[in-house]
C-alpha cells in the first residue's frame, strides 16, 4: 500500500504541487481581500472623525476603539510610529484646555492625520507586495501546469506502451496455446494412431521387448500430448482434468497431493477460464517438483458466491516473492515460479480474476486465484 502511494506521488508530483500552489493562491486572495476591506473601513472611519469641525474627547476615544489594539508591528515601522504618536497625544489630551481640542492644528488632529496617512501608505505597500506575490504564484502555476502536462504526456505514453506490450504478450500466449493444441492433436490423432497400428504387426506383437518398448513410447507420447494441451478439458471438466494432472505429477516423482472440492460449480466457467486455471495448477505443480522440496501439497476447489476459488498450497522451503519477476522479461525467482508465474498472473488479471502468491523462506507457498465468472473483464 505504501509503495503504491509513493508511486502515485512520484508520478503526479507536479500536479500535486500545482494544486498546493493554487490552494495557497486562493487562500492568499481571500486573506488579502478581507484584510484590505478591514483596512479601508478603518481609514474611512478615521477620516470621518478627522474632517469633523469640533471633535471631542469621545471622538478621540472612538479612534482608539477603531484601532482596537491592532498594530502593524514590525511589518510597517512608519505605521507603528504614527500609532504610538497618536496614543501619546491622546494621553496628553486630558491636560489640554477644552478649546484646544477643536483647533484644526491641535496635536490630536495632527497625530490622527499622520495616522491616516500612514495607514494609506501601509495599504499601498501591502497591495504592491501582494501584487508581486500573486505574479510569482501565477508564474509558478504556469510552470507547474507545463510540468504537469509533460508528466501526464509521459504517463500516457508509458500506459500506451504497456497496453501495446500487453497486447503482444496476449497474442504470443494465444499463438502458443494454439501451437501447443495443434501439436498435441497431431501427436494424439496421427503419431499415436500410427504407433498403435505398428503394435498390431506380427513382428512387433511377437517380440516382447519390442512390444514393451512400443507401449512405453506410446504412454510417454500420450502424457506429452496431454501436457501440451488438455484436449478433453471442456468435455471431461476441470476437476477431472486436474486429477489427471495430479496423477501425472505423481508419476514424475512429485509429493502427494490432497484434492478437495467444496461447493465447486465449474459449469459457470467458460473454456478460457478453465484453461487458465488448469495452467495455474500445472505451473504450480511443476514449481513444486523443481523447487519446493515439499512433503505434501493441498489443492482446494471452493465455490463461495460469487467467486470460484482455486488454492494450491505446499509445505516446502518457500521463497521470497519479492525476488520473482512482476512482469515478463524480469529475472527468474530463485526457488520460485519465475517467468511462468508472471505470465500466469497476467493471464488471470486479463481474465478479470484476482491472483495472489504468498510465500516465506521455510514456510511453504500458497497460490490462490479468485474468479467471479459473472464479472465483466476489465
**Is 211 within 8 Å of 203 (Cβ atoms)?**
no
Position 260 confidence tier, pLDDT thresholds 50, 70, 90:
very high
3-state SS of 222-244 is HHHHHHHCCCCHHHHCHHHHHHH
User: CB neighbours of 14 closer than 8 A, spacing ≥ 6?
Assistant: 144, 147, 148, 150, 151
The whole-number pLDDT of residue 285 equals 92
For the segment 122-134, the average pLDDT, to the nearest whole number, is 72
User: CB neighbours of 52 closer than 8 A, spacing ≥ 6?
Assistant: 59
The whole-number pLDDT of residue 376 equals 62
Grid look-up 493471464 returns 347
Distance CA 329, CA 357 (A): 19
The grid coordinates of residue 78 equal: 512608519
**Is 288 within 8 Å of 255 (Cβ atoms)?**
yes
102-111, 148-157, 162-171, 292-301: least confident range: 102-111
Express as a percent the part of the chain with pLDDT over 70.
73
Q: How many helices (H) and strands (E) does the chain have?
A: 12, 5
Grid look-up 511589518 returns 75
List domains and CATH numbers for the chain: 2-164 (no CATH), 236-371 (3.30.565.10)
Position 355 confidence tier, pLDDT thresholds 50, 70, 90:
very high
Closest CA to 67 of 116, 132, 24: 116
Position 174 confidence tier, pLDDT thresholds 50, 70, 90:
confident
Position 258 confidence tier, pLDDT thresholds 50, 70, 90:
very high
Q: Are strands 354-359 and 257-262 parallel, antiparallel or unpaired?
A: unpaired
For the segment 270-285, the average pLDDT, to the nearest whole number, is 89
For the segment 105-126, the average pLDDT, to the nearest whole number, is 70
Q: What is the DSSP letter of 324?
A: S
Segment holding 140, helix H or strand E? helix 107-186
* pLDDT higher than 60, residue 167: yes
For the segment 40-54, the average pLDDT, to the nearest whole number, is 75
The grid coordinates of residue 344 equal: 500466469
Round the average pLDDT of the chain to a whole number and report it.
75
**Is 273 within 8 Å of 351 (Cβ atoms)?**
yes
For the segment 261-287, the average pLDDT, to the nearest whole number, is 89
Segment holding 77, helix H or strand E? helix 77-92
Position 309 confidence tier, pLDDT thresholds 50, 70, 90:
very high
Distance CA 125, CA 76 (A): 9
The grid coordinates of residue 194 equal: 500410427
Distance CA 358, CA 356 (A): 7
The whole-number pLDDT of residue 365 equals 92
Q: How many CB atoms lie within 10 A of CB 317?
A: 17
Amino acid at each position: 500500500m505504501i509503495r503504491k502511494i509513493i508511486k502515485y506521488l512520484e508520478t503526479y508530483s507536479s500536479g500535486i504541487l500545482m494544486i498546493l500552489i493554487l490552494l495557497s493562491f486562493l487562500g492568499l486572495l481571500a486573506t488579502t481581500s478581507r484584510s484590505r476591506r478591514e483596512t479601508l473601513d478603518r481609514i474611512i472611519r478615521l477620516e470621518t472623525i478627522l474632517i469633523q469641525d469640533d471633535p471631542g474627547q469621545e471622538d478621540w476615544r472612538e479612534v482608539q476603539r477603531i484601532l482596537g489594539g491592532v498594530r502593524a508591528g514590525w511589518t510597517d515601522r512608519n505605521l507603528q510610529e504614527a500609532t504610538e504618536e497618536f496614543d501619546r497625544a491622546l494621553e496628553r489630551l486630558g491636560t489640554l484646555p477644552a478649546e484646544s481640542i477643536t483647533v484644526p492644528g491641535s496635536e490630536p488632529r495632527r497625530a490622527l492625520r499622520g495616522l491616516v496617512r500612514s495607514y494609506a501608505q501601509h495599504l499601498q505597500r501591502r497591495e504592491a507586495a501582494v501584487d508581486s506575490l500573486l505574479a510569482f504564484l501565477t508564474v509558478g502555476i504556469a510552470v507547474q501546469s507545463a510540468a504537469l502536462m509533460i508528466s501526464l504526456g509521459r504517463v500516457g505514453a508509458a500506459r500506451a506502451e504497456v497496453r501495446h506490450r500487453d497486447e503482444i504478450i496476449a497474442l504470443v500466449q494465444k499463438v502458443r496455446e494454439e501451437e501447443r493444441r495443434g501439436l498435441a492433436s497431431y501427436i494424439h490423432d496421427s503419431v499415436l494412431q500410427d504407433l498403435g497400428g505398428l503394435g498390431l504387426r506380427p513382428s512387433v506383437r511377437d517380440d516382447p521387448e519390442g512390444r514393451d518398448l512400443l507401449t512405453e513410447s506410446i504412454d510417454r507420447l500420450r502424457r506429452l500430448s496431454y501436457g501440451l494441451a488438455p484436449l478433453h478439458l471442456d468435455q471431461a471438466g476441470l476437476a477431472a482434468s486436474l486429477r489427471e494432472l495430479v496423477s501425472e505429477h505423481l508419476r514424475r516423482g512429485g509429493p502427494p497431493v490432497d484434492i478437495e472440492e467444496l461447493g465447486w460449480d465449474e459449469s459457470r466457467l467458460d473454456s478460457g477460464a478453465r484453461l487458465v486455471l488448469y495452467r495455474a495448477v500445472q505451473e504450480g505443480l511443476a514449481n513444486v517438483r523443481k523447487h519446493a522440496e515439499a512433503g505434501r501439497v493441498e489443492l482446494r476447489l471452493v465455490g463461495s458466491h460469487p467467486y470460484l476459488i482455486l488454492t494450491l498450497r505446499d509445505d516446502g522451503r518457500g521463497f521470497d516473492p519479492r525476488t520473482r519477476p512482476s512482469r515478463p522479461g524480469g529475472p527468474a525467482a530463485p526457488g520460485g515460479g519465475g517467468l511462468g508465474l508472471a505470465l500466469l498472473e497476467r493471464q488471470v488479471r486479463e481474465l478479470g480474476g484476482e491472483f495472489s502468491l504468498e510465500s516465506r523462506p521455510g514456510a511453504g507457498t500458497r497460490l490462490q486465484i479468485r474468479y467471479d465468472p459473472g464479472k465483466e473483464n476489465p
